[in-house]
Every structure is written in C-alpha cells, then in structure tokens.
Amino acid sequence: AQKVTQAQTEISVVEKEDVTLDCVYETRDTTYYLFWYKQPPSGELVFLIRRNSFDEQNEISGRYSWNFQKSTSSFNFTITASQVVDSAVYFCALSEGNYGQNFVFGPGTRLSVLP
Amino acid sequence: KAGVTQTPRYLIKTRGQQVTLSCSPISGHRSVSWYQQTPGQGLQFLFEYFSETQRNKGNFPGRFSGRQFSNSRSEMNVSTLELGDSALYLCASSLDPGPGQSAKNIQYFGAGTRLSVL
C-alpha cells in the first residue's frame, strides 16, 4: 500500500530564512508520481510540482527547489529566502501506476513565516 | 481559462439530511476526483470519475456517492448525514488524455465546499 509521511507538523521561520519540508513515501510500484501542493487559508490546493519515478533530477523554480532521492524514498522541498506569503499548509502526495489518478496525500506541514 | 469551480462554498445541514455538492472541471478536463479533508484524517480520496464512469473509489461508506455528466461536470451526494461528515470537500480535475500520456495527469483543485453538519 502507498503511504506518504510528512514528519514536520508545523514549522515557524522568520522571513528570509531558508526552510526545508520533508516528505518520505512508500510504494511497491516502479511507476509512480510525486507531487507537492500548497494550501493557503483560502482552502484551494495549488499545484507546485510533479515528479515521476524515472526522473531523479532535482529542480529549481525561483525560490523553490526539490530534491528527489529514490534511495531514501524522499522528495523534499526547500524554500529559499522565505516570505510571509509562503505561509500555508504544504502537502506531499503520491500516485501510482500509469494513470496515477488515485492520490495519497501526506498529513501536511503547516509553515508559518513571520515578518 | 477558468479553474475548477465548486458550489456551494459553504453549507450547513443537520444530521439525517442529504446533501449534493457540485463541481465544474477546467474546460477540456475529463477526469474529476473528490476528496474529503478533516483535521483528524487529513485529505482522503473519495472517488474518481472519467467519461461518466467511476474509475477509482476510496474507502468510504455507500452513503457517499457521485456521478459525472457528459460535459464532465460532477456531483457528489452524501445521504443520511452524520456529524463526522463535517469537512471540506475538494474536487480536482485533470486532463487525462489516455494511456501513455500520463504526463497530463496533474490534478487541479477547486476551493472546496465546507460542509457543517449540526
């Protein structure tokens, strides 16, 4: 069975600090997809990134970067120079198979960036 | 391009009643999934519809049901409401063009319907 663990329930940082959100997943499939979503107070989940199991290349997008390591089953997310607008709940998710429609979400990490 | 639209945004019901929630996917998206979000259980997958057929189903009782129309709009229904059904219900749509094109399987979410059962 697939499972996603986000060990950090809540993190508080001061603006401009770097912060890393951890995600560890479990799956028996060789084909799977990993996602990060952001949920601001408005409630809507905002898609941030998707990675498939065959692509371990790390990615950087502006202040965001992702580190995917199959050897440790981790897909960590780093925000560089955090801003107050980054305050939200961040979810890591896993979907299996070629269709990958059945998502399993981690419990989420609530990030508070203080001015 | 309009995003995923869910109506209503807020709903208050009493135990034993039934409720219907609506979701309009992004234009051109064929797959619609529903999730329940509660503080205790987090985000849980309810079911997914594709071409008017339920393709995947989570572990929820039969009181939770859904359907999809030919225009890909979807509704979910909860009958005989219980206090524990109070939650944020999120709908997501994806393009899902078919086998071998899973690169399009990113799910985009609506703002949700917050259901309170009294």
Residue B77 is predicted with a pLDDT of 98
Say how far apart CA B77 and CA B57 lie, in whole Å. Answer: 14
Q: Among all chains, which residue has been given the structure tokens 């989940």?
A: A45
How far out from the chain centre does Cα B7 lie? 11
Does residue B90 sit at the A interface (CB-CB below 8 Å)? Answer: yes
Residue B102 is predicted with a pLDDT of 53
Residue B97 is predicted with a pLDDT of 60
Residue of A46, A52, A103 to mutate, interface with B, max B Cβ within 10 Å: A103
Q: Chain B residue closest to A42 (CA)?
A: B111
What single DSSP character describes residue A102?
S
Residue of A37, A44, A98 to mutate, interface with B, max B Cβ within 10 Å: A44
Say how far apart CA A67 and CA A58 lie, in whole Å. Answer: 5
Q: Which residues make Cβ contacts (< 8 Å) with residue A23, sequence separation at least 6?
A: A4, A5, A6, A34, A36, A74, A75, A76, A77, A92, A106
Hey, what are A89's tokens? 């709940």
Q: What is the pLDDT along chain B (118 residues), one digit of tens a residue?
A: 679 999 999 999 999 999 999 999 999 998 999 999 999 899 999 999 998 999 888 899 999 999 999 999 999 999 999 999 999 999 999 887 665 555 557 889 999 999 999 9
Q: Which helix (H) or strand (E) holds A104?
A: strand A103-105
Say how far apart CA A6 and CA B15 lie, in whole Å. Answer: 34
Hey, what are A4's tokens? 């996603």
Ranges under pLDDT 70 in chain A: 97-102
Hey, what are A9's tokens? 């329930």
How far out from the chain centre does Cα A60 lie? 13
Say how far apart CA A4 and CA A76 lie, in whole Å. Answer: 12
| Type of residue numbered A13 | V
Smallest Cβ–Cβ distance between A44 and the set B50, B100, B110 belongs to: B110
Q: What is the DSSP string of chain B?
A: ----EEE-SEEEE-TT--EEEEEEPPTT--EEEEEEEETTTEEEEEEEEETTEEEEE-S--TTEEEEE-TTS-EEEEE-S--GGG-EEEEEEEE----TT-GGG---EE---EEEEE-
